[in-house]
Amino acid sequence: MPIEFCKCGGMLAPKGKNVVACRSCGSEIKKSLAASITESREKKDIVVIEDNRPDLPSTEKQCPVCGNDRAYWWLIQTRSADEPPTQFFRCTNGKCKHTWREYK
């Protein structure tokens, strides 16, 4: 099935049996279809550190919120494998607990 476009310029995609819809304006057109599109997304886990004293290494790093001079740190590969990982920091001050990240 060739890619077709709406009058507004948006791409038409199958919406149901014999119906295509514009992804931009939402208008629907009746048309016999030979193919369909399915989308799936993986749910990603989010790491949450609830304890103020996690089992993580710490380093000398100034917190941008409270000025404390120590922070826990960890690395996570947030982008593609050919790019460097993202380094996260969490303030060791029990009242602050600010978390921030730096890209290498």
Residue 82 is among the residues annotated as catalytic for this protein: yes
Residue 51 is among the residues annotated as catalytic for this protein: no
Select which of 4, 28, 83, 102 is catalytic: 83
Contact 10, 4 (CB under 8 A): no
Label residue 44 left, alpha or beta by phi (over 0 means left) and psi (-120 to 50 means alpha).
beta
The one-letter amino acid at 27: S
Integer Cα distance of 55 and 90 in angstroms: 12
Select which of 45, 50, 60, 82 is catalytic: 82
Integer Cα distance of 82 and 88 in angstroms: 19
Closest CA to 54 of 27, 74, 79, 80: 74
Active-site positions read 82-83
